[in-house]
Structure 1
């Protein structure tokens, strides 16, 4: 498993798609999986929608449960190829630890580091319905608070690779 981390708008999704294709890996986007839950119209999807629409993080057990099911589906179907690349996860240290308990430790973690001004501009330009100014600011605030401990966790674990956007 390879994890791709970075702030909202840092290019995780774009680059993960390219990396997964180039290296023959299955690609899971945490954001896409959560949006699929919302689109499903289930009670869980409604809970997730309420949180995402306010820029809040979805509770760890829900996110890890959704990811765990998706990883199992890929492995069960024999579609893991040369591995699984997860983008947009984990966002908190608690998620990182819970994921390792439930699924396993990643082989590699890639971190896209970008300044808040760049992220703000990219998010404002992409035109998604949930990218209101208030939601963007909340997402950037959460990223600034939560990401340093996640990055340090993987740096100490010896699996972190990073790149700085300019």
Structure 2
């Protein structure tokens, strides 16, 4: 089983590249946002607990999210591996994920971060804002604040995976195919 964490700031191309990587390597996409929505829609105990908290504007505790990931892993025994999207975002989440995966007899094999200059990110997001309907993609100040927030929060998670030699950066600028090929080369080196 091959487990990958793909990271990158808003506008780095994670969504585009995730789809291609999932297709090529037969990975199961694990987005914590999608998991939350799915558990709530299915009205599971974890989903109802999460909904109560979210309705109050509170964050869903790490244990609940880890529980949902555990369920997703159990529900996909045939998966060749998982691509984690949007998780982990803190060292505590990374440690919790590692502990869960160890219990399941697997691990994170690679943490790859797409690196894109701030000016390119702003340009991409403003461009995406013309068609996405997302208000947070239309205001340059909001975009720059999102990028700063990303840098502040995720550099800590990157440092966590660096200590296990699982962290790599891939240049996220250039053609979609060039970026995809660079990602594949990196993934292949960890398989």
Aligned equivalent of 1:45: 51
- Runs (4 or more) in structure 1 with deviation over 6 Å come to none
Aligned equivalent of 2:88: 90
- Please show how residues 75-114 of structure 1 align to structure 2 within 5 Å: 75=77, 78=78, 80=79, 82-104=80-102, 105-114=107-116
Q: Distance in 1 between matches of 2:142 and 2:54?
A: 15
Equivalent pair of 2:50/2:60 in contact (CA under 8 Å) = no
Please, which moves more after superposition, 41-50 or 7-16? Answer: 41-50
Q: Distance in 2 between matches of 1:123 and 1:59?
A: 30
Deviation of residue 143 (structure 1)? Answer: 1.2
- What's the CA shift string for 1:2-54, capped at 9, x where partnerless? 11112223222221111111012222223332344566684523634765xxx
* TM-score, reference length from structure 2: 0.66
Q: Distance in 2 between matches of 1:136 and 1:38?
A: 29
Aligned equivalent of 1:131: 136
- Please show how residues 63-74 of structure 1 align to structure 2 within 5 Å: 63-74=65-76
Q: Distance in 2 between matches of 1:37 and 1:22?
A: 27
Deviation of residue 62 (structure 1)? Answer: 3.0
* TM-score, reference length from structure 1: 0.74
Q: Distance in 1 between matches of 2:92 and 2:20?
A: 28
Gaps of 5+ in 1: none
Q: Distance in 1 between matches of 2:119 and 2:52?
A: 31
Aligned equivalent of 2:177: none
Aligned equivalent of 1:61: 63
Please, which moves more after superposition, 29-38 or 93-102? Answer: 29-38
Q: Distance in 1 between matches of 2:65 and 2:146?
A: 16
The structure whose Rg is larger is: 2
- What's the CA shift string for 1:112-131, capped at 9, x where partnerless? 12233433444442525573
Gaps of 5+ in 2: 174-191
